[in-house]
Amino acid sequence: MLDVTILPILSDNYAYIFKIGETVGIVDPGEAAPIIDYLELNNLKPDYILITHHHFDHVDGIEQIKSKYNCIVIGPTAEQSKIYGIDKRVCETDTLDINGEDVQIIETAGHTMGHICYYFKNSKVLFSGDTLFAMGCGRLFEGTAKDMFHSFKKLRALPNDTTVYCGHEYTIDNAKFCLSVDGDNAALIERAKEVQTIRDNNKPTIPTTMGLEKKTNVFMRCDTAQEFKKYRDLKDNF
């Protein structure tokens, strides 16, 4: 069974440590020191580093961690030239076997063109990087709204009870935006209150679930690329 620990890093990023039995992995180590501190404190040696995309706040810790632990770095084939130390390149036709857990690679162009998400099928856990956020989506730095809409359609096909771990703590601002365009949504109103309480207590609003996102995330509720673009443009200027 997959066990996930959330590690706040940098200003608002999350990195993740996961365990499957004795196997240990790290997702998107944008900063080495707090991750190494956690590993040493808990006497853990990572076997894998999983990377969703090439941005510095998701990869800057790779070199130091790999040098210390000699772990295997897995990342998107399309971004291999932009990411230090990739040992195994993966794309959507690939699957990984991590200590018996079947990991599906989902290509999610939009935030970057080579962005991927990792779906742990047995445990129904998604590491979504900067594609899907709690009540939000990533900025379109490289792709188009149409690209991201199609990426969201892929994620929307996952089971409602999928647990989602994303790359940033953006939930309060995302909730405010969603309320500004979907203010009569009772589930959204209730969720916005809940996440405010969570943040008031300085706790992560992550993880979320796919079912919750389908009810309260305006981007997940879009039926067309045009509608998605309208909301992404509004969010960019919110």
Which pLDDT band holds residue 98 (cuts at 50, 70, 90)? very high
Mean pLDDT of the chain: 97
Mean pLDDT of 94-110: 97
Q: Residue 125 has what DSSP assignment?
A: E
pLDDT digits over 122-135, tens only?
Answer: 999 999 999 999 99
User: Would you state the pLDDT for residue 77?
Assistant: 97
- Could you state, in order of their start, the residue ranges of all structural domains in the chain? 2-236
Classify domain 2-236 by CATH number: 3.60.15.10
Cβ atoms of 19 and 9 within 8 Å: the answer is no
Which positions ≥6 away from 226 have C-beta within 8 Å? none
Q: Output phi, psi for 138, to 5 deg.
A: -70, 155
Calpha distance 139→160 (Å, rounded): 24
Side-chain-side CA neighbours of residue 53 (13 Å): 25
Owner of token pair 């998701």: 58
Active site residues: 53, 55, 57-58, 111, 130, 168
Q: Residue 44 has what DSSP assignment?
A: -
Q: What percent of the chain has pLDDT over 90?
A: 99
Mean pLDDT of 85-105: 96
How buried is 216 (Cβ within 10 angstroms: 0-12 exposed, 13-18 middle, 19+ buried)?
Answer: buried
Q: CA distances (Å), 49 to each of 82, 98, 160, 168, 201, in order?
A: 16, 12, 27, 18, 30
Which positions ≥6 away from 96 have C-beta within 8 Å? 74, 90, 102, 103, 105, 118
Question: Strand 72-76 to strand 88-90: parallel, antiparallel, or no bridges (unpaired)?
Answer: parallel
Which pLDDT band holds residue 197 (cuts at 50, 70, 90)? very high
Among candidate residues 107, 102, 100, 157, the one with its CA nearest the CA of residue 128: 107
**Residue 77 identity:** T
Burial 23-51 (b: 16+ CB within 10 A, else e): ebbbbbbbbbebbbeebeeeebebbbbbb
pTM of the model: 0.97
Which pLDDT band holds residue 1 (cuts at 50, 70, 90)? confident
User: Would you state the pLDDT for residue 169?
Assistant: 97
Which positions ≥6 away from 203 have C-beta within 8 Å? none
Sign of the C-alpha dihedral computed for residues 149, 155, 158 and 163 taken in this order: negative
pLDDT digits over 133-173, tens only?
Answer: 999 999 999 999 999 999 999 999 999 999 999 999 999 99
Characterise 21 by phi-psi region: left (phi > 0), alpha (psi -120 to 50), beta (else).
left
H-type helices in 102-144, by residue range? none
